[in-house]
Amino acid sequence: MRNSAPIALLIILLFIPIQARNHPPPCSTSCGVIHNIGYPFRLKGDPPHCGDPDYELYCDNHNRTILNFHAGLYYVNNISYAQRLIRLVDINLAAGNCGLPYRSLGLAEVAGDGRYYRQYFSPHATFVRCSKEINSMGSSMVPCLNGNTSRVYLNYTNYMLYVSDITSYCDIIAMVLSDHKVDQFPSSYEEIQRTLQLGFDMRWAVECRDCRADGGYCQFPTQESSRFHCSKEDDYATQLRNAILFLAYVFVIGLILFCRYILAPLVIFAFLLYKCFSSRNRIPR
Ligand SMILES: *[C@@H]1O[C@H](CO)[C@@H](O)[C@H](O)[C@H]1NC(C)=O
Ligand SMILES: *[C@@H]1O[C@H](CO)[C@@H](O)[C@H](O)[C@H]1NC(C)=O
Ligand SMILES: *[C@@H]1O[C@H](CO)[C@@H](O)[C@H](O)[C@H]1NC(C)=O
Ligand SMILES: *[C@@H]1O[C@H](CO)[C@@H](O)[C@H](O)[C@H]1NC(C)=O
């Protein structure tokens, strides 16, 4: 009984460091109105074990959660882990002010990135600057961006607009990804502005990022599906090994056929010939 105190102390001393190792510093889960920050997302400044560095968000001085994507800055409005969707709004468009987005962003950038995915037919709002008035786009003129000799319009489409899609009087100056309710296709500048304020969804795909890092490429079999297939081009060593295996196979098959249909009959023929001669030689004796 007298010895139990030092032993207890020893046990406690042994366990303290283990306890500390089992409880790493906690990760932040909330910033402002976003309370569910978790894997793969992490907040800048959190310990390294939190989330994935490719999916880093930060919390600004006004407690707004921000994603820096392709040098654009986006407020995070919502994160849905069930659907793997993050809803973003360009910081310049969130308040509904007239003007350009902080950074132009279209499907091409998302598709080329690998960390996120958006279906091919994605609504875009495209800012076009035209050297003359285009009457068909009159209702979507962006008043604050008009110059002395130019007009800026915001054209809303269900797909990404290319230079070849617009008249030769106009140039694309910026585009924004968007999502609208099925029955509310916006057409006037004010309607488009309100739609852009609500932001757009991007689906994250950590496995797709990993697939690309591994030299493969992602294929999303159906547009609505979040499942994808990682396709891989065989590398040179694999192709070489397959070619050698194929040649070896052909050689072995060839050898078997050669033995079976050429060598074996020849041997039998030679044997019979030999028999024949040797028996003929024997007859006169
Ligand atoms: C941001 O959130 C923290 C923690 O909830 C709070 O202490 C701080 O006052 C907030 N800052 C602003 C500018 O709202
Ligand atoms: C976030 O998205 C989820 C799922 O779509 C939805 O249920 C929830 O109401 C949204 N929250 C906000 C604040 O918009
Ligand atoms: C537009 O017109 C105003 C008034 O004529 C002039 O002061 C200004 O310099 C012009 N701006 C440009 C960009 O040409
Ligand atoms: C937007 O651009 C598309 C493609 O060029 C065109 O078909 C459509 O009419 C434009 N929208 C408006 C409102 O002019």
Domain range annotation of the chain: 29-231, 235-285
From atom 13 of ligand 1, which residue's Cα is the shortest distance away?
Answer: 62
Q: What is the pLDDT of residues 73-105, one digit of tens each?
A: 999 999 999 989 999 999 999 999 999 999 999
**What does the longest C-alpha to C-alpha distance in the chain come to?**
127
Closest ligand, as measured to the CA of 162: 4
Q: Which of 65-79, 127-141, 201-215, 241-255 has the lowest mean pLDDT?
A: 241-255
The pTM (predicted TM-score) of the whole model is 0.74
Query: Would you give the distance in Å from CA 241 to the centre of its chain?
Result: 31
Model confidence at 1: pLDDT above 80: no
For the chain, the C-alpha Rg in angstroms (whole number) is 35
Q: Using CA atoms, how far apart are residues 275 and 131, in angstroms rounded to an integer? A: 103
Closest ligand, as measured to the CA of 85: 2
Q: Which atom in ligand 4 lies closest to the alpha carbon of residue 140?
A: 13
Distance 63 CA to ligand 1 centre (A): 6
Q: What is the pLDDT of residue 237?
A: 66
- 10 Å CB burial of residue 121 (0-12, 13-18, 19+) is exposed
Ligand 2 neighbours, Cβ below 6 Å, are 78, 80
Distance 75 CA to ligand 2 centre (A): 15
- 10 Å CB burial of residue 34 (0-12, 13-18, 19+) is buried
Number of C-beta neighbours around residue 72 at 10 A: 18
Task: Specify the DSSP class assigned to residue 33.
Answer: T
Model confidence at 273: pLDDT above 60: yes
Query: Of 12, 62, 11, whose CA–CA distance to 34 is shortest?
Result: 62
